[in-house]
């Protein structure tokens, strides 16, 4: 079993002669208590091509200290990481191995660096005696591990300040001000591992910062967008496995953006390569979406139920909705876990990596981005305009519901097309994106109402079969019908605003 904690800390450069300033002068700190010395021995693991380090992940097996065991750290933001912990064992715990799968696939991880730390610990206490933060001064010895055995070593001293659980990040700022006044400066390396890898690399293999350049061609811009979406899919995999809020939705959106980019920018990327990937991404999105769609509908129904006066809630309505939700979540967890462990999914990730390694660029990819990107965006707009016009020409009912759903998908595609083009096309593309988002929002709410009515009918049938009153379900059904009708009345005005020629004229140049 693995446990999770959020780690908020900052690192600083130090020397053996560094003396700590009086930190009781930092706002909120009443006392500094010395907690003694400890010896830590950590072996860090990665693939032979350092895939984890490339994504700023750290995997270690550590002995010594109060939290000996396996630790896997994911970056969240500056100073913040999520740390997954598992008990000490000789082999990599399966629960942690699963969280690495999107990065390492079927490639084994092996020891790459050993770091020995002599840690001197101090606790920063508040007025009530509670621990606000832990300050550690570490004497570090890092050794590169090779197939032949021992490699290059490096030694340094560093200082860490880690916020206590639920601590106020403002404390870190207050402590840092005192440290800076004492001449202590933030560390240039984000982690011990990053510094160890940089300083112990064999001669001739020392990494230098990769040369970055602004995207210049149409291919540069499209690939930058594609690369970002692939990184999102891979990066969200562990969050989905951990069932973090909104992770399934965000991963699904990344797959949609990828599919949209492959379809929209066929003049840039060869469709003989991208079409098979679109099919696999559609499969993945469908597997992820089955649960997500139901989750959205249940939230919508629960909100509608909460708004009803108690006198209109007849029978065990809330209990039935909860029972349905629990059954769904149990089944969906198994389904998603099965999908993410499937060879088909791992093969898709490998194929996406291969596309980035050897992009299937067409001749237009090497040209300046303006013409190719604006043509693609405007073409997607024309498709959307045709679908909205068709839907608005139909009478309310099932056929119109389907047409509005098709228009919604076209609005997403036009929005994503403009998002990808915005770095090259600038303000007109960003304005266009916002207009498409407004259309998508109205059409999305309409589609949610269509799905909610299907769910309400099913719940009403189940309630009736169990001898319960179906009155409340019918009442909610009527509310959803009214909501859908309101969105349909709203759409012409929203579309009129979104289809004003300003941004499109600017895109045309």
Residues 229 and 377 sit within 8 Å (Cβ to Cβ): no
Same domain, 316 and 274: yes
Same domain, 291 and 430: yes
Whether the predicted pLDDT of 350 surpasses 50: yes
Mean pLDDT of the chain: 92
- 368's enclosing H/E stretch is none
The string of DSSP codes covering 392-450 is: HTSPSSHHHHHHHHHHHHHHHHHHHHHHHHHHHH-HHHHHHHHHHHHHHHHHHHHHHHH
Q: Three-state DSSP class for 120?
A: strand
The residue among 200, 231, 251 that closes a domain is: 200
Question: Residues 289, 293, 294, CA angle at the centre, nearest 5°?
Answer: 120
For residue range 166-199, what is the model confidence (pLDDT) as tens digits?
A: 889 999 999 999 999 999 999 999 999 999 999 9
Q: Is 183 left (phi over 0), alpha (psi -120 to 50) or beta?
A: left
Per-residue pLDDT, 331: 67
Rounded to two decimals, what is the model's pTM? Answer: 0.89
Query: Residue 330: which pLDDT band, with cuts at 50, 70 and 90?
Result: low
What are the structure tokens assigned to 349, written together? 């990730």
The string of DSSP codes covering 180-229 is: HHTT--B-SSSSHHHHHHHHHSPTT----PPP-----SHHHHHHHHHHHH
Per-residue pLDDT, 344: 96
What are the structure tokens assigned to 454, written together? 């299907």
What are the structure tokens assigned to 128, written together? 């009530």
Residue ranges making up the domain that contains 384: 218-508
E strand map for 191-332: none
What are the structure tokens assigned to 365, written together? 């990819």
For residue range 130-168, what is the model confidence (pLDDT) as tens digits?
A: 999 999 999 999 999 987 766 899 999 999 999 999 889
The string of DSSP codes covering 40-86 is: EEEEEEE-TT-HHHHTT-EEEEEESSTT-EEEEEEEEETTEEEEEEE
Same domain, 138 and 247: no
Q: What is the CA radius of gyration of the chain?
A: 28
Same domain, 293 and 429: yes
Same domain, 113 and 64: yes
Q: Answer yes or no: is 205 within a domain.
A: no
Query: Residue 96: which pLDDT band, with cuts at 50, 70 and 90?
Result: very high
For 64, phi then psi, to 5°, come to 90, 160
Question: Residues 183, 187, 190, CA angle at the centre, nearest 5°?
Answer: 160
Which residues does 44 contact at the CB level (< 8 Å), separation at least 6? 58, 59, 60, 111, 112, 113, 114, 115, 193, 196
Q: Answer yes or no: is 477 within a domain.
A: yes
* Total of domains in the chain: 2
Same domain, 328 and 385: yes
Residues 371 and 326 sit within 8 Å (Cβ to Cβ): no
Same domain, 267 and 333: yes
Give the CATH number for residue 125.
2.40.320.10
What are the structure tokens assigned to 308, written together? 């009803």
Whether the predicted pLDDT of 208 surpasses 80: no
What are the structure tokens assigned to 459, written together? 């719940």
- Residue 9 bridge partners (DSSP): 162
For residue range 57-90, what is the model confidence (pLDDT) as tens digits?
A: 999 999 998 889 999 999 998 899 999 999 999 9
Per-residue pLDDT, 218: 95
For residue range 416-461, what is the model confidence (pLDDT) as tens digits?
A: 999 999 999 999 999 999 999 999 999 999 999 999 999 999 999 9
Q: Answer yes or no: is 116 within a domain.
A: yes
Give the CATH number for residue 458.
1.40.20.10
Same domain, 176 and 223: no
Same domain, 145 and 280: no
For residue range 110-129, what is the model confidence (pLDDT) as tens digits?
A: 999 999 999 999 999 999 99
- 10 burial level (CB within 10 Å; 0-12, 13-18, 19+): buried
Same domain, 55 and 136: yes
Q: Answer yes or no: is 82 within a domain.
A: yes
Q: Answer yes or no: is 209 within a domain.
A: no
Q: Answer yes or no: is 211 within a domain.
A: no
Same domain, 298 and 371: yes
- 185 burial level (CB within 10 Å; 0-12, 13-18, 19+): exposed
Same domain, 301 and 351: yes
- 93 burial level (CB within 10 Å; 0-12, 13-18, 19+): buried
Q: Answer yes or no: is 132 within a domain.
A: yes
For 121, phi then psi, to 5°, come to -105, 140
Task: Choose among 76, 40, 39, 42: nearest CA to 59.
Answer: 42
3-state helix, strand, coil in the chain (%, to 5): 55, 20, 25
The residue among 172, 200, 228 that closes a domain is: 200
Q: Answer yes or no: is 212 within a domain.
A: no
Per-residue pLDDT, 351: 97
Cα end-to-end distance, the chain, whole Å: 59
- 64 burial level (CB within 10 Å; 0-12, 13-18, 19+): middle
Per-residue pLDDT, 398: 93
């Amino acid at each position: 079993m693995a446990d999770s904690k959020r780690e908020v800390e900052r690192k600083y450069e130090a020397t053996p002669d560094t003396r700590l300033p009086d930190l009781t002068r930092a706002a909120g700190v009443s006392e500094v208590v010395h907690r003694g010395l400890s010896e830590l021995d950590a072996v860090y693991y990665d693939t032979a091509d350092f895939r984890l380090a490339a994504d700023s992940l750290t995997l270690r097996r550590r002995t010594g200290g109060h939290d000996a065991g396996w630790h896997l750290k994911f970056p969240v933001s500056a100073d913040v990481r999520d740390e997954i912990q598992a008990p000490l064992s000789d082999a990599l715990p399966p629960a942690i191995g699963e969280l690495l799968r999107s990065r390492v696939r079927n490639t084994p991880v092996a020891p790459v660096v050993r770091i020995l730390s002599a840690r001197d610990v101090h606790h920063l206490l508040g007025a009530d005696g509670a621990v606000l933060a832990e300050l550690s001064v570490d004497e570090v010895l890092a050794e590169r591990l090779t197939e032949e055995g021992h490699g290059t070593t490096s030694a340094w001293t560093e200082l860490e300040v880690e916020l206590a659980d639920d601590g106020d990040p403002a404390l870190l700022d207050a402590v840092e001000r005192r440290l800076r006044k004492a001449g202590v400066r933030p560390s240039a390396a984000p982690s011990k591992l990053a510094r160890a890898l940089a300083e112990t690399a064999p001669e001739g293999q020392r990494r230098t910062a990769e040369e970055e350049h602004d995207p210049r061609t149409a291919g540069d811009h499209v690939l930058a967008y594609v690369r970002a979406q692939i990184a999102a899919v891979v990066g969200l995999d562990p969050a989905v496995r951990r069932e973090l809020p909104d992770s399934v939705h965000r991963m699904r959106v990344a797959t949609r953006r990828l599919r949209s980019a492959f379809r929209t920018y066929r003049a840039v990327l060869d469709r003989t390569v991208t079409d098979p990937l679109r099919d696999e991404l559609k499969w993945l999105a469908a597997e992820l979406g089955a649960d997500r769609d139901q989750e959205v509908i249940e939230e919508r129904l629960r909100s509608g139920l909460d708004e009803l006066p108690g006198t209109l809630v007849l029978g065990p309505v809330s209990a039935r909705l909860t029972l349905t939700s629990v059954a769904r979540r149990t089944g969906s967890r198994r389904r998603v876990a099965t999908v993410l462990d499937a060879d088909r999914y791992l093969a898709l990730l490998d194929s996406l990596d291969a596309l980035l390694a050897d992009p299937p660029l067409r001749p237009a990819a090497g040209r300046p981005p303006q013409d190719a990107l604006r043509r693609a965006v405007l073409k997607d707009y024309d498709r959307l305009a045709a679908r909205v016009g068709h839907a608005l020409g139909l009478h309310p009912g099932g056929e119109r519901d389907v047409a509005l759903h098709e228009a919604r998908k076209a609005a997403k595609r036009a929005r994503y097309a403009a998002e990808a083009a915005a770095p090259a096309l600038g303000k007109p593309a960003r304005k266009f994106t916002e207009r498409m988002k407004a259309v998508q929002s109205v059409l999305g709410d309409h589609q949610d109402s269509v799905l909610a009515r299907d769910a309400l009918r099913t719940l009403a049938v189940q309630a009736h079969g169990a001898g319960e009153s179906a009155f409340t379900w019918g009442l909610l059904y009527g509310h959803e019908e009214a909501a859908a009708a309101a969105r349909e009345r709203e759409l012409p005005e929203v579309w009129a605003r979104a289809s004003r020629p300003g941004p499109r004229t600017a895109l045309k140049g």
